[in-house]
């Protein structure tokens, strides 16, 4: 992106990051409820963090948090290369593609959107941000 557009790129990346974090938060609430249904209440936020990092029940959330972290890293770059914007937008769009007939994250994400208004709202917000970033990245290539 041109230097004059760097602030716009940062704003778009921040929107995508916020969208991804919103999705992550909504999905985490579902994963936590599922975990607690089997194992009982999680004792503290620190325990939840440890479970989120290392427990298989929460592993499916890692791609969302990792992508949000990548967006955060890009925001801190002095200049944001167009290919990085395009790659992040493409990866985010692929990740947040629910699939009823799919497997892994795509299927769990589909089920979560169907089960939770919070996830559906977070999904809509994130997709709007991803679409805006993708359009800006495409405009920069033109």
The pLDDT of residue 21 is above 50? yes
Q: What would the pLDDT profile of 120-142 be if each residue is shown by its tens digit?
A: 999 999 999 999 999 988 776 65
The share of the chain scoring above pLDDT 90, in percent, equals: 82
pLDDT score of 20: 98
pLDDT at 101 over 60: yes
Mean pLDDT over residues 98-107, rounded? Answer: 95
Spell 44-72 as b/e; 16+ CB within 10 A means b: eeeebeebbeeeeebebbebbbebbebbe
Both tokens of 122, joined, read 């977070």
What are the pLDDT digits (tens) for 48-75?
Answer: 999 999 999 999 999 999 999 999 999 9
The lowest-confidence range among 50-64, 69-83, 85-99 is 69-83
Residue 1 confidence (pLDDT) above 70: no
**Residue 108: half-sphere exposure toward Cβ, Cα within 13 Å:** 18
Cα gap 100→31, rounded to integer Å: 18
State how far the Cα of 37 lies from the Cα of 24, in Å rounded to an integer.
20
| Closest of 132, 142, 121 to residue 10, by C-alpha | 132
Contact 58, 31 (CB under 8 A): yes
């Amino acid at each position: 992106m041109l230097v004059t557009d760097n602030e716009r790129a940062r704003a778009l990346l921040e929107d995508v990051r916020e969208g991804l974090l919103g999705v992550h938060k909504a999905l985490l609430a579902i994963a936590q409820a599922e975990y607690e249904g089997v194992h009982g209440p999680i004792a503290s936020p620190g325990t939840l963090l440890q479970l989120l990092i290392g427990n298989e029940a929460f592993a499916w959330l890692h791609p969302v948090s990792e992508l949000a972290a990548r967006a955060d890293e890009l925001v801190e770059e002095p200049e944001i290369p167009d290919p990085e914007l395009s790659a992040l937008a493409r990866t985010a769009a692929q990740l947040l593609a629910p699939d009823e007939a799919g497997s892994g994250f795509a299927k769990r994400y589909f089920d979560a959107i169907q089960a939770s208004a919070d996830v559906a709202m977070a999904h809509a917000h994130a997709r709007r941000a991803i679409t805006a970033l993708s359009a800006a990245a495409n405009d920069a290539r033109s």
